[in-house]
A and B are shown apart, each in its own frame.
Chain A
Amino acid sequence: MADNTKDELLHDHNHDGIDRRGFLKCMAWAGTGALCVMQGGVLKSYSMSRPSEMNPADMKGELSFVQISDSHMGFNKPANPDVAATLQAAVDKINALSRPPEFLLHTGDISHLSKPAEFDTVEQILKSASAKDVFYVPGEHDVLNDDGKQYHERFAKGAQEGGWYSFEKKGVHFVGLVNVMNLKAGGLGTLGHEQLEWLERDVKHLKSSTPIVVFAHIPLWAVYPEWGWGTEDSAQALAYLKKFGSVTVLNGHIHQIMQKVEGNVTFHTACSTAFPQPKPGEAPSPGPMKVPAEQLRSALGITDVNYVSGQHALAVVDSTLA
């Protein structure tokens, strides 16, 4: 990713004077509790700890949804002994949004050990969210022991056999991909031929002006291959999406916010609602990262996404649980 530290306008897609990189620079603060919103071409930022300064009108758009990820229900080690409580805190955060999101996207690792009780608890907690529809994709923790049979029966009944699917909301085309099955020794996430062929057919006849949102568990770009943070055959998937003017890729798995812009594609990973993980290479392994108890909730979070018709980019805003 090019390191652009100058303030020049490189890509003014929305003709509003805001470079997408400028917007993303501001979003980098969002993970620590700042909400950045584009309003009339001016970038404004509000600290999440001072909600009275936030104007609900700033959040207007045709479509808004929230991404949550990596709830790991069943995890109970020191990094977070109560993941149900932090998932509930995430739901409370969703319910406190001035505009209820239309639906939720859960980008996987719903459960920690693929146990029925773990799936039950997550579904139960999410029932109290203001958004009643939840769309899921599985994480590797959701398909243990049974090749994903249980996950499929609970969350992917209407999907293709492999669990992938697509749907439309207000003119935005959503694609849920599965990249956690049939992982090979020493490998990364994988989509496989069958899914790639389905994806090609699925988007073939869409107009290039259709905004696309792809969501999958493991990142679709090489965040840090040494830790398995990437997908081997994602380049082929992205090739099928090349014609579209706006593609947003939402992933989980790495338990921290990372963003990348490549042409018309914005990649974004979400926080976990369970426990944070270290930045690439900053620890010997990618396991649960312990933080002081009072800091835990500010290392977890949700992602609010707004689509405004006519805008090139989806407005993606992260907020932490504290």
Chain B
Amino acid sequence: MRRTVFLASLLVMAVVGLGGIVGEHRSFVASAQEKTASTTEVKIDNFVFGPAAVTVPVGTTVTWINRDDIPHTVVSTEKAFKSKVLDTDEKFSYTFTKAGEYPYFCSIHPKMTGKVVVQ
């Protein structure tokens, strides 16, 4: 366990070091480390946002894509964003530039809810 932690911290230092030297490649290295890159996808299907809750870093663009055979919308309850009506295969994207919690719902079928947590 300690060896793993040691190796992990070596890796982190290497990453940080690399980041410091090659500034413009930082996001590339960062995305190699973290699964959530600068874009995240939420699939809408069967009256469900999947995944219902996503946690993303500041600057991420979340793209919702409607795979259901019924139209849906993506509307922030705090009025931060509002998609037009999305028919099957249509998409809506929003880039989160500020940290915070962003609960949203489908304004056509309000029982459908989701949340984006931006850290």
Contact = CB atoms under 8 A, between A and B. Distances in A.
Contacts of A145: 84-85
B110 A144 contact: no
A185 B77 contact: yes
Q: Is the interface of B mostly helix, strand, loop or mixed?
A: loop
A227 B87 CA distance: 20
Contacts of A186: 105, 110-111, 113
B70 to A, nearest CB: 5
B48 interface: yes
Contacts of A320: none
Given A185-B105, A286-B47, A287-B46, A228 B110 contact: yes
A62 B113 CA distance: 47
A92 to B, nearest CB: 27
Contacts of A285: 46-48
Interface in A87-131: 112-114
A113 B110 contact: no
B101 interface: no
Given A186-B113, A284-B46, A287-B69, A77 B88 contact: yes
A113 B46 contact: no
B69 A228 contact: no
B110 A185 contact: yes
B46 A112 contact: no
B85 A113 contact: yes
A77 B111 CA distance: 23
A227 B70 contact: no
A82 B105 CA distance: 30
Contacts of B75: 185
Contacts of B25: none
Nearest to A228: B111
Nearest to B69: A77
A79 interface: yes
A100 B48 CA distance: 43
Contacts of A188: 110-111
22 contacts: A112-B71, A113-B85, A113-B87, A114-B85, A141-B71, A144-B85, A144-B108, A145-B84, A145-B85, A185-B77, A185-B104, A185-B110, A186-B110, A186-B111, A186-B113, A188-B110, A188-B111, A227-B111, A285-B47, A286-B47, A287-B68, A287-B69
Interface of B: 46-48, 68-71, 73, 75, 77, 84-85, 87-88, 103-105, 107-111, 113
